[in-house]
Amino acid sequence: MSFFVSTPSFWQQSQAWRASQSNATGADKTTIGRLFGDKTASTNSSSADSLLGQFGSTIMNASAAAAVNAAKQANDRIQKQAAKVKNNAPDKSDANITVQAVYTGSMSGLVDFGTAGPSPSGGFKFLAGDDLQTQFKGAVSAIKSNGDSIDTVTLSGNTIIASTSGLNAHPVFTLTLKPDSGTYTFILRNPIDMKTSRLDKSTTINLSGLVEAVTADGIATSPANSVVIQVHNGRGTAGSVKFQTKDDLGNVTGLATAGAVYQGGLAYSGPNNTPPAAKSKTPTKYTPPTNPLTGKGYSASSGAAAATFNTINIFA
């Protein structure tokens, strides 16, 4: 009578040996076990079962943290650049927005009042009534803010307020004039629409026609290029810039001074009312689909197919 005894495999023998070693010493002394053991290495080599230990784990964690931080920094840079291209008017204004969007200039050196001198009530004043409306419309006809035309001007004392109308009505800029000195202050209240660009772009607003100089004997004139504002899409400190003046034929006649303001840090503060979707009153004419295999139109009935030349009836 014979007995068959199965022999353990080499893998089973290896596992049994590793288990006996672990039970005997409290540590896995194999190469794999020492490299990737689940216990932390200690100063006592007899009880350590991981060559990586705390030092190796620290290196791995530091490397992973550095990689994650570098990826985050790269993403932040990309988002920052994308925001600059996408929108010139960020959600929050810069801290120094008051010096970016406010310009003060003077017309005193541009007018010769002659022997009569300026009017006793002030040598400079804004137009009024229809004259003001006409000149204002010509000055801002091609300029928009938040998609709306700047079509409303209000005269309040020595200040004019330029605004939009409609669902998103909001003030865009104000211009205040001192009649005695001819000093004026332009304040941009809301951003002006411009094409998105990483380069410096500007929109010029010539408000000279809204102001007139008056002599003591009642002669009134509008000084050319006396109130010109350049609104830039970037950031900077408002100041004076020189620009070329031209005659009616386009010939350069010299240089004049304009006020430069920067709206890059100015946030839109008006309402955001969404207009209702437009509804079409014209019904859409039905056009039967075309069979892509034959290039011929489909027909819904045999009668229609018979009456329609070069079609295929798919419902017959």
- For 245-273, write each residue's pLDDT tens digit: 888 888 898 999 999 999 998 999 999 88
Residue 200 included in any domain = yes
At a CB cut-off of 8 Å and minimum separation 6, what does 232 contact? 200, 201, 202, 260, 261, 262, 263, 264
Q: How far apart are CA 28 and CA 41, in angstroms?
A: 12
Same structural domain, 94 and 242: yes
Is the Cβ–Cβ distance between 201 and 233 less than 8 Å?
yes
Residue 255 lies in a domain: yes
Number of domains in the chain: 3
Are residues 194 and 300 located together in one domain of the fold? no
% of the chain beyond a pLDDT of 70 = 69
Question: Quick check: is 311 in a domain?
Answer: yes
Q: By three-state DSSP, how is residue 81 classified?
A: helix
Residue 207 contacts residue 236 (beta carbons within 8 Å)? no
Q: Where are the alpha helices (DSSP H) in 92-143?
A: 97-100, 129-140
- Both 41 and 174 in a single domain? no
Is residue 228 domain-shared with residue 186, that is, in the same domain?
yes
At 193-243, the pLDDT tens digits run 998 888 899 999 999 999 999 999 999 998 999 999 999 999 999 999 999
Q: What whole-number distance in Å separates Cα of residue 288 and Cα of residue 265?
A: 54
**Average per-residue pLDDT for the chain:** 80
Determine the structural domain holding residue 301 and report its residue range: 283-316
Tell me: do 214 and 300 sit in the same domain: no
Look at residue 4 in the predicted model and tell me its pLDDT. 58
Distances (CA, A) of 182 to 17, 236, 248: 101, 26, 26
Residue 256 sits in the same domain as residue 294: no
Average pLDDT estimate for 40-64: 57
Same domain, 190 and 45: no
Instruction: Compute the average pLDDT of residues 280-294.
Output: 74
Q: Do residues 245 and 108 both lie within one domain? A: yes
pTM for the full predicted model? 0.61
Q: Residue 7 is which amino acid?
A: T
Q: How far apart are CA 34 and CA 234, in angstroms?
A: 61
Comparing 50-64, 115-129, 144-158, which segment has the lowest mean pLDDT? Answer: 50-64
Residues 6+ apart with CB under 8 A from 94: 100, 235, 264, 265
Residues 45 and 194 in one domain: no
Residues 129, 27 within the same domain? no
Residue 58 in any domain: the answer is no
User: So what's the pLDDT on residue 53?
Assistant: 59
Is residue 102 located within the same domain as residue 36? no
The two tokens of residue 237 are: 């400190």
**Domain annotation covers residue 45:** yes
- 168 in a domain, yes or no? yes
